[in-house]
Amino acid sequence: RDFPDFILGDFKYISSDKQGKREWELRASEAKMYNTKNQVYLYNMVMTFYNEQNTVKSFVSANSGYIDKTTMNIFAEGRVKILSENQSTLEANKVYWDNDKKHFYSTPEELVTLKRGNTVITGYKMVADSGLKQVTIEKVKADVKK
């Protein structure tokens, strides 16, 4: 049987760059740490990204997810919503964060919806920066309202 090494409530983790500047902060109502897998499973997770001025660049919420402690890559699933400072919103059921490349991505079969102003874009296989300024989506369907 597979038991966690630790179960934590009100989990918080802060990631910083080599100069010590805060890049992102992750919170969860509960975290289960598995040392042999190098993974932390998260429940009711919220992730906040910061810009150079240390103000909020974007905000991610999801029902659950996990962190790979080796790579610091993050998987979020269940009503994933990303809100950015430029008023863009991205919604999906599953989204990944690649910590080395500093971008979000989804799998080719995962439907994503991007809302920016009066434009709504749906499609698959998304890649986006943490501020949702540069977003690539394949198999796109767009709806532009006046």
What residues does 74 pair with on adjacent strands?
A: 67, 97
pLDDT digits (tens, 9 = 90+) for 99-136: 999 999 999 999 999 999 888 999 999 999 999 999 99
- Region of poorest pLDDT, from 22-26, 37-41, 140-144: 140-144
Please identify which residue in the block is written with the tokens 């049987």: 1
Residue 3 CA to residue 13 CA, distance in Å, equals 22
pLDDT at 144 over 80: no
| CA–CA separation, 49 and 32 (whole Å) | 23
Task: List 48's β-bridge partners, or say none.
Answer: 25, 59
79 φ, ψ (degrees, to nearest 5): 55, 50
Q: What is the pLDDT of residue 2?
A: 81
CA distances from 127 to 67, 87, 97, 123 (A): 19, 18, 10, 11
Token digits of residue 107 = 């799998």
**pLDDT for the residue numbered 114:** 96
Cα dist from 32 to 58, 100, 122, 142, whole Å: 25, 24, 33, 39
**Confidence (pLDDT) at 37:** 92
**Count of other CB atoms within 10 angstroms of residue 134:** 9
How do residues 25-77 score in pLDDT, each as one tens digit? 999 999 999 999 999 999 999 999 998 888 999 999 999 999 999 999 999 99
Measured CA to CA, the distance from residue 122 to residue 107 in angstroms comes to 14
pLDDT at residue 18 tops 90? no
Residue 133 per-residue DSSP state: S
Cβ atoms within 10 Å, residue 102: 12
pLDDT digits (tens, 9 = 90+) for 86-99: 999 999 999 999 99
